[in-house]
Structure 1
Amino acid sequence: MSRTSLRSSRTAVAAAVVVAVAACGGGDEPTGADPTTAGSLDTAGGVVTASSEVPSSSDGVGVALILKNTSNPFFVSMSDSARAEAEALGVELTVAAGTEDGDTDTQIAAIEDAVDRGDAGILITPNGDAVVPALEAAREAGLYTIALDTPPNPADAVDITFATDNRAAGVLIGEWTAATLEGAPATIAMLDLFDDQVISVDVQRDQGFLLGMGIIDEVDTSGNGEESPTGEYRGGEYEIVCHEATQGAVDGGRSAMEACLAQDPDVDVVYTINEPAAQGAFDALTAAGSAQDVIIVSVDGGCDPGLRLVSEGVIGATSQQYPGRMATLGMEAIAELAAGGDAPEVTPGLDFFDTGVSLVTDSPVDGVDSISVAEGREICWG
Structure 2
Amino acid sequence: MGRRGPLGRGAVVLTAAALALVATACTSQKAGDTGRGNDDGKTKVGLVTKTDSNPFFVALREAASAQAKKDGAELVALAGKFDGDNEGQVAALENLVQQGVDAILITPSNSTGILGAIKKAREKGILVIALDTETEPKDAVDATFATDNLEAGKSQGAYVKAALAGKEPKLLMLDGSPGGTVDEMRHRGFLAGIGIAEGDAKILGKESTNGDQNKAQQAMENLLQRAADVNAVYTINEPAARGGYAALAARGRAAQVLVGSIDGGCQGVQDVKDGKYAVTVMQFPKKMAEQGVQAAVEFTKSGKKPGGFVNTGSVVITDKPVAGIDSKDTAWGLQNCWG
Same fold, TM exceeding 0.5?
yes
Q: CA deviation at 1:82?
A: 0.4
Q: Which residue of structure 1 lines up, in the alignment, with residue 283 of structure 2?
A: 321
Matched, 1:61 2:43: yes
Which of 114, 117, 131 matches 1:131? 114
Return the alpha-carbon distance in structure 2 between the equivalents of residues 242 and 339 of structure 1: 52
| Amino acid corresponding to residue 252 of structure 2 in structure 1 | G
Which of 266, 272, 277 matches 1:303? 266
In 1, are the aligned partners of 2:50 and 2:83 still within 8 Å (CA)?
Answer: yes
Q: CA deviation at 1:200?
A: 1.8
Q: CA deviation at 1:15?
A: 4.7
Q: CA deviation at 1:151?
A: 1.0
Q: Which residue of structure 2 lines up, in the alignment, with residue 109 of structure 1?
A: 91
Q: CA deviation at 1:320?
A: 0.4
Return the alpha-carbon distance in structure 2 between the equivalents of residues 317 and 229 of structure 1: 23
Q: Which residue of structure 2 lines up, in the alignment, with residue 228 of structure 1?
A: 199
| Amino acid corresponding to residue 285 of structure 1 in structure 2 | L
In 1, are the aligned partners of 2:287 and 2:312 still within 8 Å (CA)?
Answer: yes
Matched, 1:207 2:210: no
Q: CA deviation at 1:302?
A: 0.8
Task: Name the SS of the counterpart of 1:359 in structure 2.
Answer: strand
Matched, 1:333 2:295: yes
Which of 350, 354, 358 matches 2:315? 358
Task: Name the SS of the counterpart of 1:204 in structure 2.
Answer: helix
Return the alpha-carbon distance in structure 2 between the equivalents of residues 206 and 121 of structure 1: 31
Return the alpha-carbon distance in structure 2 between the equivalents of residues 344 and 159 of structure 1: 7
Q: CA deviation at 1:371?
A: 0.4
In 1, are the aligned partners of 2:264 and 2:338 still within 8 Å (CA)?
Answer: yes
Q: CA deviation at 1:211?
A: 1.1
Q: Which residue of structure 2 lines up, in the alignment, with residue 163 of structure 1?
A: 146
Number of aligned pairs?
A: 309
Deviations, residues 319-377 of structure 1 (Å, cap 9, x unaligned): 1000011001000001001001522233xxxxx11001100000000110000111112
| Amino acid corresponding to residue 265 of structure 1 in structure 2 | A
1:31-70 equivalences under 5 Å are: 59-70=41-52
Return the alpha-carbon distance in structure 1 between the equivalents of residues 18 and 182 of structure 2: 25
Which of 300, 304, 319 matches 1:342? 304
Tell me, which stretches of 5 or more residues in structure 2 are unaligned? 1-14, 23-38
Return the alpha-carbon distance in structure 2 between the equivalents of residues 109 and 340 of structure 1: 29
Question: Percent of pairs identical after alignment?
Answer: 43
Q: CA deviation at 1:228?
A: 3.2
In 1, are the aligned partners of 2:19 and 2:95 still within 8 Å (CA)?
Answer: no
Which of 310, 313, 328 matches 1:371? 328
| Amino acid corresponding to residue 14 of structure 1 in structure 2 | A
Q: Structure 1 residues 17 and 333, CA, compared in 2 at 3 Å: closer, same or farther?
A: farther
Task: Name the SS of the counterpart of 2:304 in structure 1.
Answer: coil
Q: CA deviation at 1:263?
A: 2.3
Task: Name the SS of the counterpart of 2:114 in structure 1.
Answer: helix
Q: Which residue of structure 2 lines up, in the alignment, with residue 287 of structure 1?
A: 250
In 1, are the aligned partners of 2:270 and 2:334 still within 8 Å (CA)?
Answer: no
Task: Name the SS of the counterpart of 2:170 in structure 1.
Answer: strand
Moved over 4 A (4+): 15-19
Tell me, which stretches of 5 or more residues in structure 1 are unaligned? 1-11, 20-56, 217-226, 231-238, 347-351
Q: CA deviation at 1:251?
A: 1.0
Q: CA deviation at 1:132?
A: 1.6
Task: Name the SS of the counterpart of 1:353 in structure 2.
Answer: strand
TM-score of the superposition, structure 1-length normalised?
A: 0.77
Q: Which residue of structure 1 lines up, in the alignment, with residue 17 of structure 2?
A: 14
Return the alpha-carbon distance in structure 1 between the equivalents of residues 107 and 45 of structure 2: 14
In 2, are the aligned partners of 1:333 and 1:344 still within 8 Å (CA)?
Answer: yes
Return the alpha-carbon distance in structure 2 between the equivalents of residues 109 and 368 of structure 1: 43
Task: Name the SS of the counterpart of 1:263 in structure 2.
Answer: coil
State the Cα RMSD in Å. 2.1
Return the alpha-carbon distance in structure 2 between the equivalents of residues 259 and 130 of structure 1: 31
| Amino acid corresponding to residue 312 of structure 2 in structure 1 | T
TM-score of the superposition, structure 2-length normalised?
A: 0.87
Task: Name the SS of the counterpart of 1:152 in structure 2.
Answer: coil
